[in-house]
Amino acid sequence: MLPHIAWRVDAMIAAITEHRAPLTRPIEQALRAVPRHWFVPLVGESLERDGARVPIDRDADPSAWWDAVYADRQIMAGECSCPAPSAVADLLELLGPVSGQRVLEVGTGTGWTAALLGRLVGQQGSVTSIEADAAVAEQAAKNLAAAGAMPHLVVGDGAAGCPERAPYDGVHGTYAVRPVPYAWVAQARPGAVIVCRFGDDHALRLVVGPDGTASGRFSSLTTICARQDDPPGAALIMELLGSRGAAQRMWPIWGEPEPERIGVTVTPEAQWIWLNRPNQVIAKD
């Protein structure tokens, strides 16, 4: 790795761990092996913590472009985005991919996460990545080819999964979903892990059971630590109930739970949100 890239990657990893525990060794190694700049468009917008969008252009202001690429910021370019490094690291650690696994990624985007997944599962594993937008998928394919990564790319509806390449050991949703598509559960092996974003600041991790259902809990993404005024648990309740007033009323009644006390169960017929244990239902989707 070139020296001017190495120190930027060091700074990016330091920014990720500023509000969380150190990265696991496989995730850190993957972030070092798959530089983010291979997957960031030449012109775009850096999404700042206060919500502002700052234009970046590698030709017009290369220094600002490089700074934005290796900051812990989401990069937007039209219909495509490259997620914040901390959110990528959080979701990958929740998924826990290991060598030899078959992983389904839903939402290829720029291709960065697909390349990281490929590094983590190795040559003995496989990554299938689905992107709904054909133009975004085409650019991702170019990015991945230039980086030497070779996932199986599909243009289509991510909610439908990719049954012809199932079963999967893990499913990684790069965008927020509600409800969780049951196809992801149906195409996963018993014991497989499903992770996806929930809203802007939370993630959901499910484990698939032998009975064809999946259940698991929420957690906060690292990015919430630096910009959320409400406690993470209250912010999640607000997302779930769709009302700030209802969240302010119910969060204290429910014992001010942290996100890890709140979970979801997904079955072929329905899914519900629970507190502490699956039979303590607080909402249905």
Regarding whether 225 and 198 lie in a shared domain, the answer is yes
Is it the case that residue 186 has pLDDT exceeding 50? yes
Regarding whether 234 and 209 lie in a shared domain, the answer is yes
Distance in angstroms (rounded) separating the CA atoms of residues 285 and 27: 33
Average pLDDT over residues 28-50: 93
pLDDT at position 200: 75
pLDDT at position 249: 92
130: β partners:
106, 154
Average pLDDT over residues 13-39: 94
Stretch (H or E) spanning 214 = strand 214-220
Average pLDDT over residues 15-40: 94
Average pLDDT over residues 110-116: 97
Regarding whether 67 and 92 lie in a shared domain, the answer is no
Condensed to tens digits (0 to 9), the pLDDT of residues 197-229 reads: 988 789 999 999 999 999 999 999 886 544 556
Q: Where among 60, 84, 108 does a domain terminate?
A: 84
- The proportion of the chain whose per-residue pLDDT surpasses 90, expressed as a percent, equals 79
Regarding whether 127 and 204 lie in a shared domain, the answer is yes
Regarding whether 59 and 194 lie in a shared domain, the answer is no
Q: Where among 38, 67, 84 does a domain terminate?
A: 84
Condensed to tens digits (0 to 9), the pLDDT of residues 142-165 reads: 999 999 999 999 999 999 999 999
Check which CATH number belongs to the domain holding 110 and give it. 3.40.50.150
Q: What is the dihedral of CA 55, 58, 61, 63, to 10 degrees?
A: 110
Q: Where among 59, 84, 109 does a domain terminate?
A: 84
Beta strands in 20-176 (DSSP E): 43-47, 53-57, 74-77, 80-82, 102-106, 126-131, 152-155, 168-176
Regarding whether 58 and 191 lie in a shared domain, the answer is no
Pairing of strands 168-176, 152-155: unpaired
Regarding whether 128 and 245 lie in a shared domain, the answer is yes
**Straight-line distance from the first to the last Cα atom of the chain, in angstroms, rounded to the nearest whole number:** 47
pLDDT at position 31: 97
Is it the case that residue 4 has pLDDT exceeding 80? no
pLDDT at position 106: 98
pLDDT-derived band at 78, boundaries 50, 70, 90: confident
- 4 vs 214: which has the higher pLDDT: 214
Regarding whether 91 and 45 lie in a shared domain, the answer is no
Number of independent structural domains in the chain? 2
For the entire predicted model, the pTM comes to 0.94
Whether 223 and 232 have beta carbons less than 8 Å apart is answered as no
- 254 token code pair: 């429910």
Residue given tokens 């429910």 in the structure block:
254
Is it the case that residue 87 has pLDDT exceeding 90? yes
Whether 219 and 205 have beta carbons less than 8 Å apart is answered as yes
Regarding whether 129 and 262 lie in a shared domain, the answer is yes
Say if residue 167 is preceded by a cis peptide, omega within 30 of 0.
yes
pLDDT-derived band at 166, boundaries 50, 70, 90: very high
Regarding whether 142 and 58 lie in a shared domain, the answer is no
Regarding whether 25 and 35 lie in a shared domain, the answer is yes
3-class state of residue 185 by DSSP: helix
pLDDT at position 226: 47
**Range of the structural domain that residue 184 is part of:** 86-284
Regarding whether 110 and 25 lie in a shared domain, the answer is no
- 194 vs 247: which has the higher pLDDT: 194
